Amino acid sequence: MSMYDAINDECGVFGVYSDKVSKLANTVYYGLYALQHRGQESCGIVVNDGGVFGYHKGFGLVNEVFNPENLAKLPKGKIAVGHVRYSTTGALTAANTQPIVVRHVKGPMAIAHNGNLVNELELRRNYELKGAIFHSTNDTEIISYAVTESRLESGSIQEAVEKAMYKIKGAYSLIIMSAQKLICVRDPNGFRPLCLGVLPDGGYVAASESCALDSIGAEFLRDVIPGEIVIIDKNGINSITTHCNRKTSLCIFEYVYIARPDSVIEGSGVHAARIRAGRFLAKEHQVDADIVIGVPDSGLEAALGYSLESGIPYGVGFVRNRYVGRTFIQPGQDMREDSVKIKLNPISDVIKGKRVIMIDDSIVRGTTCGRTVKLLKEAGAKEVHVRISSPPFISPCFFGVDIDSKDRLIACKKTVEEIAVSINADSLGYLSAENVVKIAPNAKCGFCTGCFTGKYPIEVPKKMPKDKFESKITQY
Amino acid sequence: MSMYDAINDECGVFGVYSDKVSKLANTVYYGLYALQHRGQESCGIVVNDGGVFGYHKGFGLVNEVFNPENLAKLPKGKIAVGHVRYSTTGALTAANTQPIVVRHVKGPMAIAHNGNLVNELELRRNYELKGAIFHSTNDTEIISYAVTESRLESGSIQEAVEKAMYKIKGAYSLIIMSAQKLICVRDPNGFRPLCLGVLPDGGYVAASESCALDSIGAEFLRDVIPGEIVIIDKNGINSITTHCNRKTSLCIFEYVYIARPDSVIEGSGVHAARIRAGRFLAKEHQVDADIVIGVPDSGLEAALGYSLESGIPYGVGFVRNRYVGRTFIQPGQDMREDSVKIKLNPISDVIKGKRVIMIDDSIVRGTTCGRTVKLLKEAGAKEVHVRISSPPFISPCFFGVDIDSKDRLIACKKTVEEIAVSINADSLGYLSAENVVKIAPNAKCGFCTGCFTGKYPIEVPKKMPKDKFESKITQY
Amino acid sequence: MSMYDAINDECGVFGVYSDKVSKLANTVYYGLYALQHRGQESCGIVVNDGGVFGYHKGFGLVNEVFNPENLAKLPKGKIAVGHVRYSTTGALTAANTQPIVVRHVKGPMAIAHNGNLVNELELRRNYELKGAIFHSTNDTEIISYAVTESRLESGSIQEAVEKAMYKIKGAYSLIIMSAQKLICVRDPNGFRPLCLGVLPDGGYVAASESCALDSIGAEFLRDVIPGEIVIIDKNGINSITTHCNRKTSLCIFEYVYIARPDSVIEGSGVHAARIRAGRFLAKEHQVDADIVIGVPDSGLEAALGYSLESGIPYGVGFVRNRYVGRTFIQPGQDMREDSVKIKLNPISDVIKGKRVIMIDDSIVRGTTCGRTVKLLKEAGAKEVHVRISSPPFISPCFFGVDIDSKDRLIACKKTVEEIAVSINADSLGYLSAENVVKIAPNAKCGFCTGCFTGKYPIEVPKKMPKDKFESKITQY
Amino acid sequence: MSMYDAINDECGVFGVYSDKVSKLANTVYYGLYALQHRGQESCGIVVNDGGVFGYHKGFGLVNEVFNPENLAKLPKGKIAVGHVRYSTTGALTAANTQPIVVRHVKGPMAIAHNGNLVNELELRRNYELKGAIFHSTNDTEIISYAVTESRLESGSIQEAVEKAMYKIKGAYSLIIMSAQKLICVRDPNGFRPLCLGVLPDGGYVAASESCALDSIGAEFLRDVIPGEIVIIDKNGINSITTHCNRKTSLCIFEYVYIARPDSVIEGSGVHAARIRAGRFLAKEHQVDADIVIGVPDSGLEAALGYSLESGIPYGVGFVRNRYVGRTFIQPGQDMREDSVKIKLNPISDVIKGKRVIMIDDSIVRGTTCGRTVKLLKEAGAKEVHVRISSPPFISPCFFGVDIDSKDRLIACKKTVEEIAVSINADSLGYLSAENVVKIAPNAKCGFCTGCFTGKYPIEVPKKMPKDKFESKITQY
């Protein structure tokens, strides 16, 4: 699957508490940079300077939104939090950028959220009936109300967060900054990753993925436990454990596609998981061929795994134009057909006359995959055998990944054989649902495979709430 | 007083209801353009297309924030509301731009507000203790909560607005847009102007000043009555009168400086009021001189009035650089002294060897006035007699005008004679508080002269709430 | 005539030589600011730091193109030159911005030019046949070739400039910067103004108008004499006089409209000239009326002159929206008719029931004037008598002012009476060609009245060269 | 070598002639997109609509400079030319962007150039002494003068180009657009690539690399022959061959690093050349190890070749942050050390406890390579053996590649053993100069290896002319 295709990642969160670092905003900047793959639509940084919050947010990549001037303007401080976002709920409006920064009964509070609530509609209605007003369509604003409501009857922010956790349901990895504290929370199922690190000169960091710790030279400490509330303040790092003994269900697609290969989640490396996915795929769907290639960038590692397992040589089949970015425009309609070629060009030398195994991580609608196969055939491939390093998508994700709607998922409408025909592949094989959960064998948790099986670890709403709100208020 | 000096205007509001106009956003754009003098910091337009709201807001002048592209993107619709803003409460952050657009219990709602509440702090605390969260430091958000709270126990938006009027205290000219209606409200004192107009092809308009009606070709209908709620919807225009028989107190400084000369407020023309102010000034502070000049642009009309009354010839004493704008930068420090000259250059031919009467509308700190006198003397004026077309500022405004703090107001620290010495004027005369209220004799209302007298028509807080919030959260 | 109407000013030039000023770029910035009315399309500053030139140019107003960052980046130095431009020849492309900065046989050279050559086409062809290439359609590039060609056979830059003056024909006020010198040149006719000033701490300044000297605190020294070459370098200020005893012909329209009122050109003040124009107009075209008003901003002073001469009271008839700028957009077509009203709104109080004399400086196509008369009549004027403080335009300008083409000039097609009818004026009177040359009685020079009389002081081409080039190369 | 390191590519050129394509600007846009790797600093497109040229140029990547609005504004036409640029001569000023668009004796002309002249200084002086003026420091402007000079005595543009080829010396792949024709020229040595393609619906394309033909769906026709002038006009495609039987010398570094892997140059595929370089390297510098990894992106293919030849397994050792772009900023100094880690993070799983062979394409100063080795050792590598797929840089390039100056090239100052120590590698091996010329065995030409050997195929100047001009005129 190409990086600009139909599956959108979700969000990345980052927080830091340190009185040693001279400019915390820069630390967050680097951290968000490393998490950029989790959200390219908007980003923001909030710095807490002794209870006074300064922030900057905007639309675009981290290095578009931030520059030396606005970073310099942000206050120095001891606590900071940042966010990169792709919208899973909530339209593309400024009110929906994160971290959300509000004043509540106890002063300022900032919240960065990765995930998606399943009882968003009930909660929203409940707060509306109590007089709440909403500026955004973002469920993070609902979480703010839940924490604020609990705060009125709690002695501390952590107590309020704990109470709020019994109201909000779904996937949430949260970093909350209050006047004094940095609070890191992971939902009881642990749908999304969240980990902790230690800065070389002292202080703590929290981030969606360990690659963000590496990028700032922090040492990995541990994952936040599902259901845990970690409190970082002048007393150091403390923890409240809630929802104990609950079955956990980390999103398996984090290993397949979302996370960066250099991250380690719940003790299992992402790169190794993808190599392993390729190996399983080779065992499940053998075929006689001359070369194994991956669709850049996300299919390359599974291709290497397939090659290692099958003994069929690994090759570089495509050149990806590394300048095709978020802002790539297609000025004319007459060349739409060739848009795949602008991003991806096959290397004829490698392909010509060969029986090719092409590995990708997933198929959504089938259109892109079909075009990619076509490119290989035009470049002279004798046969193209498509292998997908995850099972077919047959159901939506309610926990923070924006998979296309069911009626556009090709696997909801066609059998594997029919898909093979429609993408013009000589054969097609998906990794089985049995094996996909084995790609991260060291992970100390269970997995959610809802999008592949339709079986979800917690109750889900009848339909996605996204569409309901999107159309009511739009910012241009 | 120069346009870029220490007194900041406040806000301008504009609303329209019409099913005849093809593109309402354009109508609002023109209306805000005519109200630009009431706020140059930020502006916004919200259009209601059958209950679906689309909006665009930003920092800058109307023709900087809006362009043909973003106007075209805004939906067509039957109701729209706009706002130009200079911050009186609330720092310069995106969350503080208006109109504020929120979802409440009954769907979307947009509010544009000109004025300032005096019980902002109590209300904010009250809502916080009920679980409210605030995104802005803007008192418009408080008004949203007040209306939303009342809406829960009201059968209609107008009923909710009426109830909310008994909670909020201070100055407010509001235009509220709900899914179905455009609601125009003026506080019981009528501190800020608000008037209604009829569009040539049908439909109604509401605006802070009548000049905005002229700009779109609408016919002036009437002023909104202090305490009145005007409801415009598919049933036409209807009205609820509240707080009857209350003494009204329109801000007299609207006539002196804030409003545009071509506006008519409460039946009295602003241009004529300024001519009249000059005439009164001539009667109060006669002096033998060769020429009367005004400080551009706001002193020109009073100068003409002074000339007409005194018989001393009117002349053009200064050229104002018409390109000096909001964004004028002064790159170096070594030329700071000359910055007045960049904006204002005296015409030697006119001034040289003359005894000059120089008219301005007000003196805040005295620095600018002193520099202006110096320019005239350097240009050869034999004498410079300064006449100010309003009384000395001795007290803050709590009703929406950002007059400098008391310890920087020169009239709080010095007598008129001392001020004359400090600005190096040969004589100085202010319009008296007795006469300033006579400059708009046709106005069907009383006046607030709090900033000139320290006597306010309603109870005011001990100190301005602005500073309290500004420092807590800042957006960069 | 409104500032955004059909006559475009031309260009403004500014140069400075000083080793006392810490940051010359700032000095030029302020100077260009004061000359902004001479060209709003593009501007540029070049600084010479010991033979190394640094420059910044761009499209827009001075305070849009320059900011503290790019001013700070420009080198310090002892010589600098700047330019504001409205295109008289040459399309709106980056290559046409000025000062033009080139390398020629003797190193770097920058040229800022106000004026227009009449033998541009011959010269361009001549150089092309010698192998020249042109990046722009700007005649300044032709001047560069002329100076460069002469430089090959001259001992100094001033000698080269003198030789070049015998090749180039037409209007040119030039400021040329070489590695060592600042050279100021005015064409033998003195079509365009150019004056010299002394800086308070030492050093010299040259500028199109004296208002730019005022803006930086420089003292006026003298006008550059038509045909003179002024050389400013480490030896101070020196001069070469050429083309002696030639009849001079300063553009009279500089006094009527182009120059700023606070400037003094050739010893005659511009403000006084406009007052005088109004007085002549009153003598030539008396009429019984109640009030005299000017069309802002350029008609205001002639209106005052008319009032002083006629004894009819002066009044303020219009409010001009001071935020209508270069970038004013009109989003919709349905309001085009009202666009005059957005810029200019009549004050009913002043106009209603009155016989009004409305003064403007010129009529080009008649459309704007017609709309302005209409505004007054709609505001209740009983009669509107239009008086124009210059003669009718009947011929193009070949010397740097972009007057509309002949077939669009209303005075080429209609008699004064017919124009009066078409603009719906009760009477119309123009200042006579006899009197327009008397408005600046102290000027030590003759005048060009070509646009009013069709008689030009030097031979002019059959047609304007502008159109020929504009269509060949365009930058988007 | 990382993409943001010290060796800068040079330029890419693209031209098209077709009366079938509806919007040629879009075709050029796509073509430049595919050539983006050859220059990221500025770009431009010129379209010829019946002799009228319209262009847009700017600083930044193709998708930053162009957008649907400015592409739509460019005229339709039958001929167009485009350019992407990294400055090899000439500072970063607007005057240096390409294609250069000028008017010469025969009308408009646009030139796009990839390469560098060796007799630039002599030519520049020669033209200056004939009266030329230079707007840029770009040698493309010199080529314009050479063609223009020859055009005066030639019957056609192609004849003028042929004559000019006897004046200009060095590396040049040119696309010249006149009013009627598209002219493609390659210098007699053929230093830089240039190839021709046919559009599916008719018409011809010329481009620096064949990948640009693929991107627009054009079919590869042939390379332009060194010394050839290809004329494309209404008569189709014609050719003039000059400088026959001259020894050719294509830059071998095009295969090693500059060109895109999917391009085929002179009949030899670039990807295959890099695989081959890795194989040669394995033969020359064998070592016992556990894994072969490449430094992304340019070292990956040679790593695969090394693995194939040596039998040591290929692995993915690094994750490159794909969002690190041209505009990556480093806000603080305190993290400078870690900047490599932000771009490149090693995957511990793969590296830990392993003996690693790390392949890169070149070493310039050694700093980046040293940091990369350090990353691997910190990630747990037991040994790191560095292998470089080209010989050491010991001499500058005079033909269009911006290799660092000699005193900063580590191979000029240290032996291979000393370099190994300074980068902390356990061993270091470079591809030999003998073998580097064998990596493209199908190429129908000779090679330039000047940067590796100091032996150049034509006479070169004593020093690089770049520095001489850069400091004289700078645009900010």
Q: What is the pLDDT of residues A210-251, one digit of tens each?
A: 999 999 999 999 999 999 999 999 999 999 999 988 899 999
pLDDT of A330 reads 59
The whole-number average pLDDT for the span A87-100 is 69
Q: What is the pLDDT of residues C241-287, one digit of tens each?
A: 999 888 999 999 999 999 999 999 999 999 999 999 999 999 999 99
Q: Which chains touch A (3 or more CB pairs under 8 A)?
A: B, D
Among candidate residues A414, A406, A417, the one with its CA nearest the CA of residue A451:
A406
pLDDT of D336 reads 44
Cβ within 8 Å, pair D132-C148: yes
pLDDT of C232 reads 98
User: Which residue numbers of D are catalytic?
Assistant: 11
CA–CA gap between residue C255 and residue C133 (Å, rounded): 38
pLDDT of D93 reads 66
The whole-number average pLDDT for the span A282-289 is 98
pLDDT of A103 reads 93
The whole-number average pLDDT for the span A22-33 is 94
Cis peptide before D262 (omega within 30 of 0): no
Assign A69 a pLDDT band (cuts: 50, 70, 90).
Answer: confident
Q: Write the DSSP symbol of residue A132.
A: -
**CA dist D421 to A353, D299, D370, D426, Å?**
46, 21, 9, 8
Assign C183 a pLDDT band (cuts: 50, 70, 90).
Answer: very high
CA–CA gap between residue C227 and residue C190 (Å, rounded): 7
Nearest chain A residue to B49 by CA distance is: A472
Q: What is the pLDDT of residues B139-194, one digit of tens each?
A: 899 999 999 999 999 999 999 999 999 999 999 999 999 999 999 999 999 999 99
CA–CA gap between residue A287 and residue B282 (Å, rounded): 102
For chain B, residues with pLDDT lower than 70 are 1-9, 87-94, 325-340, 463-471
Nearest chain D residue to C143 by CA distance is: D133
Disruptive mutation site among D49, D106, D120, D135 for chain C (greatest number of C CBs within 10 Å): D135
Residue D49 burial by CB count (10 A; 0-12/13-18/19+): exposed, middle or buried?
middle
- Give chain C positions within 8 Å (CB) of B21: 334
Distance from CA of D338 to the nearest CA of A (A): 7
Which residues on adjacent β-strands are paired with residue D231? Answer: D183, D238
Average pLDDT, chain C: 91
Q: Across the interface, which of D54, D94, D148 has its CB nearest the CB of C476?
A: D54
- Give chain D positions within 8 Å (CB) of A314: 304, 314
Tell how far CA C184 is from the center of its chain: 17
Cβ within 8 Å, pair B271-C316: yes
Tell how far CA B307 is from the center of its chain: 28
Among candidate residues A224, A181, A288, the one with its CA nearest the CA of residue A445:
A224
- What is the β-pairing status of strands D79-85 and D52-59? unpaired
Q: How many CB atoms within 10 Å of residue B155? A: 8
Coil, strand or helix at C13: strand
B11 annotated active-site: yes
Cis peptide before D99 (omega within 30 of 0): yes
pLDDT of A466 reads 52
CA–CA gap between residue D332 and residue B236 (Å, rounded): 61
Amino acid, res. A151:
R
Give strand ranges (E) for B50-169.
52-59, 79-85, 100-104, 107-117
Q: What is the pLDDT of residues D392-422, one digit of tens each?
A: 999 999 998 887 778 889 999 999 999 999 9
Disruptive mutation site among A335, A352, A354 for chain D (greatest number of D CBs within 10 Å): A335
C-beta contacts of A158-164 below 8 A and 24+ residues apart: A158/A183, A158/A229, A158/A231, A158/A240, A161/A185, A161/A229, A162/A229, A162/A240, A162/A242
Structure tokens at A59: 């639309």
Among candidate residues B230, B247, B166, B157, the one with its CA nearest the CA of residue B195:
B230
- Give chain D positions within 8 Å (CB) of A61: 323
Assign D5 a pLDDT band (cuts: 50, 70, 90).
Answer: very low
Q: What is the pLDDT of residues C430-443, one digit of tens each?
A: 999 999 999 999 99
- Give chain D positions within 8 Å (CB) of C133: 102-104, 109, 141, 144-145, 148
Q: Identify whether the C-beta of residue C35 lies closer than 8 Å to the C-beta of residue C27.
A: no
Q: Which chains touch B (3 or more CB pairs under 8 A)?
A: A, C
CA–CA gap between residue A352 and residue D269 (Å, rounded): 13
Q: Which of A206-210, C332-336, D251-255 has the lowest mean pLDDT?
A: C332-336
Above pLDDT 70, what percent of chain A? 91
Among candidate residues A382, A358, A355, the one with its CA nearest the CA of residue A370:
A358
CA–CA gap between residue A444 and residue A34 (Å, rounded): 24
Residue C326 has pLDDT above 80, yes or no: no
Coil, strand or helix at A449: coil
Assign A15 a pLDDT band (cuts: 50, 70, 90).
Answer: very high
- Crossing angle for the helix pair B120-128 and B139-151, to the nearest 10 degrees: 60
Coil, strand or helix at A154: coil
Q: How many CB atoms within 10 Å of residue C186? A: 29
- Give chain A positions within 8 Å (CB) of D37: 322-323
More confident residue, B2 or D224: D224
pLDDT of A2 reads 41
CA–CA gap between residue D82 and residue D63 (Å, rounded): 14
Distance from CA of C104 to the nearest CA of D (A): 5
Q: Vertex C78, ends C72 and C81: CA angle to 5°?
A: 75
Q: What is the pLDDT of residues A150-159, one digit of tens each?
A: 999 999 999 9
Cβ within 8 Å, pair A26-D315: no
Q: Identify whether the C-beta of residue B384 lies closer than 8 Å to the C-beta of residue B341.
A: no
* Chain A interface, Cβ < 8 Å to B: 51-57, 70, 73-74, 94-95, 101-105, 107-109, 127-135, 137, 141, 144-145, 148-149, 152, 471-476
Q: What is the pLDDT of residues D45-88, one digit of tens each?
A: 999 999 999 999 998 889 889 988 899 999 999 999 999 997 54
Average pLDDT, chain D: 91
Q: Identify whether the C-beta of residue A229 lies closer than 8 Å to the C-beta of residue A184.
A: yes
Residue A433 half-sphere exposure, CB side, CA atoms within 13 Å?
12
**CA dist C424 to C82, C128, C317, C348, Å?**
44, 52, 18, 19
Q: How many CB atoms within 10 Å of residue A189? A: 27
